[in-house]
Structure formats: structure tokens, C-alpha cells
Amino acid sequence: MKLSQIFKQGVRFVATAGGVFVRAVQSGFRGLGYLQKGLVAIGVIAAVGIGLVYTSSGLRSVTIIEPIATPSDLVASGFTASTSQSRFSEDMLSMINSASSVMPTEIHDTLEEEGTKDLHLEVPGTGMSVQDVVTAIKDITRRDGHITAEIVWDGGALRLFGRVVRPGGEAYLFDAYSQRGDVDEVISRGARAAMQIYSPYILASSVFDQAQKECEEGTSCQYTDAANEFEKVLKNGSPKDQEKLAMWANLGLSKIAENNLDYLTEIERARQAIRIDRKFSWARYNWGIALENMGCDKEALEKYQRVAVDRDFFAAGHNALGREYLKIASHEYIPTDSSLRLHAQPAELAQREFESAIRHDPRYAEAYVNLGEALELQGKHTEALDKLRAAIALDDEYTSKAYKEVAKIETRLREPERAATALEEAMISEKRHPQCRGNSESADADAWRSCLADLSKDELPKFGRHTVNWPTAHFETADCRRYAIENWP
């Protein structure tokens, strides 16, 4: 049971018992008012003690966004202090939600417009609640953060001046400007400026998420702004931020390098993150991805094995490890190093890893497809089809690949009609693939057909383009070993 749950139960018990005892005293000893007052005092002291322990026992900090003072003419048009507060909060929360899709949820704090309301138990005889006590103590100990702001006219432009008090008491000023006097624009820019102070890492992750979405839609594949924001985390953050977030910022830069197909930079950024924390599995996983894309499968396998041991609940790590075992089972590569002797058939090992990935993430479509392949290699056709259909039901970007695997199995089972239907469905799914969304058949037929042609291949090219850090020579075994080294002095 979590510590906070234990305290909640303890509070309920103390409050209930205290109430019963005070009522007993009131009924049986009405003449002894001083005793009643003493008991109430004891109840308050107990509540304060509970509040102190509770606020120091892991209760998450929140940031309270206050109503935003707004010029009277804007108020008349509907932009009241509460409306501006709501818009500002929505923009802040939108950045957090956007960031959460590209970063682990455990590293960002939750922003809430109002404070926590976990406890509403009365302290007998006082009219106070334990929540009141907890809130007061958090104010005193500066556990929560606050954002205050006001909007003013500056000629024909609008300015937003604000102040962020971060959990812990550090205070910073920020401002935003809209030359054309657009209230939505100044609020949006103000929210971004506040987020730059409150959590530069969340801002960087949000910018990265938007860049990835634009790339998927075919609009643009530029990650410069996101990379700059992650660099700010490394260079301009407070010492506390740098200590806590440096490895995560390096992880973000590693992923950007991967998206740019710059695998050597991806490795270097992952290496820097692991220098900070030798058991940082997210960075080691990225390192493995880069090695795998470079054709260094043996080294990638070693990275994924380490990830699976250090972070068993990491679904992507299990899926990646299973993918390497699947390559061995499919004879895509044959491990020659005696240290990589397998204790079971590679298809069985792959199956176990994919099952682990799905156990930790039941909606992991790629793992279902991979599991279907592993089962098919073992001759388990019916089970393989079941897993592939599960992937199709998730309607993910791997739907097309799942249908193609279904077609292969149906062909082996001598079911040509079913195989043909599966291939038709695969083509339909490819038209909806995120990678082709930016190209419509009517607007740019050549680009659309080119995209589908790439998707129709069994495997997309590993190296889309060369970068400034990309060596011209072919990777040899010694190169792979060098890029996988972790033994620093």
C-alpha cells in the first residue's frame, strides 16, 4: 500500500475517533469546557502533525494559475480575468499533453488550475478540514507553485507581464507581446514563456512533438527549434534542473538525431546521458536502435539484453530484443561470437520477448505483428493469425504490415482468396499510413505513389541520407565494436 494511502486511512481513523471522543466528552462532561478545549487543541496539533508528514511524504506539487487581470475593454468583449486564466491554463496543459506523447510520464509534474483536494476531513470542533491544514503547510513550506499575470495595452499592442513561483519558492518574471493586439496570441506566447521557466524540458518536448507531427503529415521535417530548446535545458537551466533533466535532454537530442538518420550523433547523445546515469535504459535503448540501423546487430542485441535486465517493464526494450532474435531465427544474420550462444531456439526467445512487451503494453501493435512472425516461424499458424488480427484491430501504422503477414500465412495454408483479400486490405491501409498523409493521390500523384512504393518494400531503407558525421566507408566489425563501447575511464 502506498504511503499516502496509509496516511489517508490514518487521518480518517484519527478524525473519526477524535469526533466520537469529543462528542462523548461534550455529553458526559459538559461542565468541563477546558477539557473539551484541550482535546480540540490536541486534535489540531495532531492534524498539523499529520499534515506535515503528509506533505513531506511524496504528495506531488501543483502549480496554481491565478486569474489574469485584463483591460476593461477586453473584459467587455468577453475576456474576463477568469476567461484569460482558462485560456492560459489550456495552453499550458496543451504543451504538457503534447510533451507527454514523446517523453516518459514520470519526469514531468502535473499542472492544475486548482490545488489538490485529496483530503476533506474535519478537525473535530474547529470547522477546519485536514485539507485546510495541508494547504496551509504547503504554502508555508512552498511545496506548490504559482503563476500570476496581467494583460495591459501598450499603444495598439498587447503585453502580458507575469511571475512564476516554482515549487520550492524560486520566483521569475516573464513577459509576452502581441504587436497586432491579438489577445489569443499574447496569452499563447505568455504561456510558452511561463513554461520556459516552469519546465524548459516540457517545452522542448512539446516543440519536438509538434515537429514530429509535421513530419508525419508531410509538411516539414525540421527539428532545429526542438534541438535548440533541448540545448537550452543543458545550458541555461538552473543547477537543479541540469542535475535532474540533463540526461533526459540528451535523450531528446538523441531521438532527434535518429529522426535525422544521424546515428553517430544519436549514439554520442545516448553516451552522454549514460555518463550521468549508468542504468539509464532509455538512452541505452536509443543506442541499440542506432547500432541496429547501422547494421551492427550483435552490438544492438547486447544493448537490448542489458535494457531488458535493467528495466524489465520497458515494453519497447523487450520488443527490440525480440526483433534481434527474430532476425537470427529468419537467418538475416548469424551470431558468430561465442558469448552470444543462445539457450533456446531464437524464434522461441523472440516469442518470449514479444509476449513480455505486450504484457507491459497491451496496445503495442508492432509487438503483436512481430509475435505473429515469431509464431509463424515455429509453424504455429493459427496462433500467428490471431496475433496479427489483434494488431489489425488496434488500427495502428503497422496495420498494413500485419495484413501482409496474414497474406503470407494464408498463401502457405493454400487459401489464395483470403491471401488476396489481405493484400487488398494492406494496400488500403498504406493509403492511410502516417508517412503518406502529406501526399494525396489527387494533389501529388507522383509523391503519393513513391511513398506507397517505399511502404510496399519488405523493409524501408535504413539510411535515408548521409549527414556530416556519417563515415563514407562500410562498417566493419571493429567499427561496430568501437561505437558500442561503454567502458569509460
Tell me, yes or no, whether 90 lies in a domain.
yes
Q: Is pLDDT at 452 greater than 70 in this prediction?
A: no
190: domain range?
3-198
Q: How confident is the model at residue 4 (pLDDT cuts 50, 70, 90)?
A: very low
Examine residue 182 and state whether it is found in any structural domain, yes or no. yes
Q: For position 159, what pLDDT does the model report?
A: 97
Query: Between vectors from CA 183 to CA 181 and to CA 189, what angle results, nearest 5°?
Result: 100
Q: According to the model, what pLDDT value does residue 472 have? A: 44
Backbone angles phi, psi at 148, to 5 degrees: -120, 150
pLDDT at 330: 86
Decide: 414 and 434 in contact? Cβ < 8 Å: no
> Rounded distance, CA 272 to CA 275, Å?
5
When pLDDT is averaged across residues 122-126 and rounded to a whole number, the result is 43
The predicted pLDDT at position 79 comes to: 87
pLDDT at position 426 is 85
State the pLDDT confidence band at 177, using cuts at 50, 70 and 90. very high
The upper half-sphere exposure of residue 256, i.e. CA atoms within 13 Å in the direction of its Cβ, equals: 25
Beta bridge partners of 178: 158
Q: Is the pLDDT of residue 118 over 70?
A: no
pLDDT at 397: 81
3-state secondary structure of 182: coil
- Work out the percent of the chain whose per-residue pLDDT is above 90: 44
Residues 64-116: tens digit of each pLDDT? 899 999 999 999 888 899 999 999 999 999 998 899 888 765 564 433 333 33
CA–CA dist 33, 38 (Å, integer): 9
Residue 404 within any structural domain of the chain: no
Residue 486 has pLDDT above 60, yes or no: yes
Distance between CA atoms of residues 285 and 263, nearest Å: 13
Q: pLDDT at position 216, please?
A: 80
Classify residue 73: in a domain, yes or no: yes
25 located within any domain:
yes
Q: Which residues of 190-207 are buried (b: 16+ CB within 10 A; e: fewer)?
A: bbbbbbbbbbbbbbbbbb
Q: Which of 130-134, 258-262, 289-293 has the lowest mean pLDDT?
A: 130-134
Please indicate, yes or no, if residue 150 is contained in any of the structural domains: yes
CA atoms lying within 13 Å on the CB side of residue 109: 22
The total of structural domains in the chain comes to 1
Least confident of 213-222, 317-326, 455-464: 455-464
Average pLDDT, stretch 49-62?
51
Q: Which residues contact 338 (CB under 8 A, 6 or more apart)?
A: none
30 is a domain residue: yes
Q: Is residue 384 part of a domain?
A: no
The mean predicted confidence, pLDDT, of the chain is 77
Rounded mean pLDDT, 334-344 = 63
Is the per-residue pLDDT at 25 higher than 80? no
Alpha-carbon distance of 237 to 172, in angstroms, equals 13
Q: Is the pLDDT of residue 270 over 90?
A: yes
Winning range, highest mean pLDDT, from 44-58, 167-181, 443-457, 469-483 = 167-181
Q: Tell me the HSE value of 411 on the side-chain side, using a 13 A CA sphere.
A: 11
Between CA 211 and CA 198 the distance in angstroms is 21
| Predicted TM-score (pTM) above 0.75 | no
Q: How far apart are CA 168 and CA 172, in angstroms?
A: 12
Please choose, from the candidates 286, 350, 284, the residue with its C-alpha nearest in 3D space to the C-alpha of residue 311: 284
